[in-house]
Amino acid sequence: MLVGEPGTAKSMLSELLAAAISGTSNLTIQGSAGTTEDHVRYSWNYALLIAEGPTQRALVPSPVYQAMASGRLVRFEEITRCPPEIQDTLVSILSEKQLMIPELGDEARVWARPGFNVIATANLRDRGVHEMSAALKRRFNFETVRPIRDRAFEATLITQSLDAELGPGRPPLAASVMDVLVTAFADLRTGTTTGGTPVKRPEAVMSTAEAVNVAIASSMAARYLGDGTVDAGDIARQLVGIALKGTDEDARLIRHYVDNVVRERARGSREWREFFDAADGLWR
């Protein structure tokens, strides 16, 4: 069970693990409020069910069923978005390593072959998530995926994502501008600047995934609406956008950050000056 804040690459890690261990990351259930027991166990091809009755041919196996039958890993994304009674469908599968199919006969079941296992992911902080039952918790090993602390490493990751998404001809983004991006995210994520000034943390998720999105959107803005080079103003406009699509309180907190921390830095840095002017202009 990979748990953590949204955007910390839990899904990415589970995909990589499943692909490395089982050769495929495609056996996946996406948890949602609409996930049913049939999605976790099996369902039926109704035309065949009516024509032949319940037969193996009419049975439509779920990703969990397929993973058990073939001894592979199944991924269960965002498991806490499912109601607890649906999560609990996994309890007997994980402890008994078998899935009963009463429609095919009293003894009908699929046994988990060696290699079968479940990698689940769950967001700690998000709207619309349910509790996880104690029974299910006991059957998982938990690994907490934490946000990246090292700003240089985060900058490297963002650069790699930009290269992968936009290719080598992407609008140039100077190291000093990248530094503004990762610093602003780190300040708002951790609630303090490197200098020790306290910053109020917005409710919006200031994850690496969101930082990548800001970098990509800023590059697009620079290419199509700007002069072809990403400046700190492009970053500011996208970053403030995160606050504005969130709660009113978030908008207030980011504004407070701009009015205090960014204003102070703008005195001694061209990039922070551009950031300040662009953010300030959005509110005026």
Which parts of this chain interact with Mg ion (CB under 5 A)? 11
Q: Which is nearer to ligand ADP, 50 or 124 (CB)?
A: 124
Report the nearest approach of ligand ADP to the CB of residue 130 (Å): 17
Output the six-digit token pair for 174: 């100077």
Q: Which is nearer to Mg ion, 120 or 236 (CB)?
A: 120
How far apart are alpha carbons 91 and 89 in whole angstroms?
6
Q: Applying CB under 6 A, which part among 5-13, 54-62, 175-183, 252-260 lies near ligand ADP? A: 5-13
Q: Applying CB under 6 A, which part among 4-12, 172-180, 194-202, 267-275 lies near ligand ADP? A: 4-12
Output the six-digit token pair for 130: 């349910």
**Residue type at 93?**
I
Q: Applying CB under 6 A, which part among 53-61, 171-179, 204-212, 237-245 lies near ligand ADP? A: 204-212
Report the nearest approach of Mg ion to the CB of residue 9 (Å): 8
Rule CB under 6 A: say whether 148 interacts with ligand ADP: yes
Report the nearest approach of ligand ADP to the CB of residue 13 (Å): 7
Please measure the distance between the N-terminal and C-terminal CA atoms of the chain and give it in whole angstroms.
Answer: 46
Q: Applying CB under 6 A, which part among 10-18, 46-54, 107-115, 136-144 lies near ligand ADP? A: 10-18
Q: How many residues contact ligand ADP, by CB under 6 A?
A: 14
Rule CB under 6 A: say whether 11 interacts with ligand ADP: yes
Footprint on residues 232-271 left by ligand ADP (CB under 6 A): none
In terms of C-beta distances under 8 Å and separation of at least 24 residues, what long-range contacts does 56-60 make, across chains too?
56/104, 59/101, 59/104
Residues in the chain: 284
| Token pair 């001694």: residue | 268
Rule CB under 6 A: say whether 208 interacts with ligand ADP: yes
Q: Which is nearer to ligand ADP, 59 or 239 (CB)?
A: 239
In terms of C-beta distances under 8 Å and separation of at least 24 residues, what long-range contacts does 165-171 make, across chains too?
165/216, 166/216, 166/219, 170/219, 170/223, 171/219, 171/222, 171/223, 171/228, 171/229, 171/230
Q: Which is nearer to ligand ADP, 92 or 161 (CB)?
A: 161
Output the six-digit token pair for 233: 């103003």
Rule CB under 6 A: say whether 161 interacts with ligand ADP: yes
Rule CB under 6 A: say whether 212 interacts with ligand ADP: yes
Rule CB under 6 A: say whether 9 interacts with ligand ADP: yes
Report the nearest approach of ligand ADP to the CB of residue 63 (Å): 18
How far apart are alpha carbons 11 and 75 in whole angstroms?
9
**CB atoms inside a 10 Å sphere around CB 116:** 21
Rule CB under 6 A: say whether 129 interacts with ligand ADP: no
Residue 198 DSSP code = B
Residues 6+ apart with CB under 8 A from 220: none
**Residue type at 261?**
V
Report the interface residues with ligand ADP, using CB under 6 A.
6-12, 121, 148, 157, 161, 208-209, 212
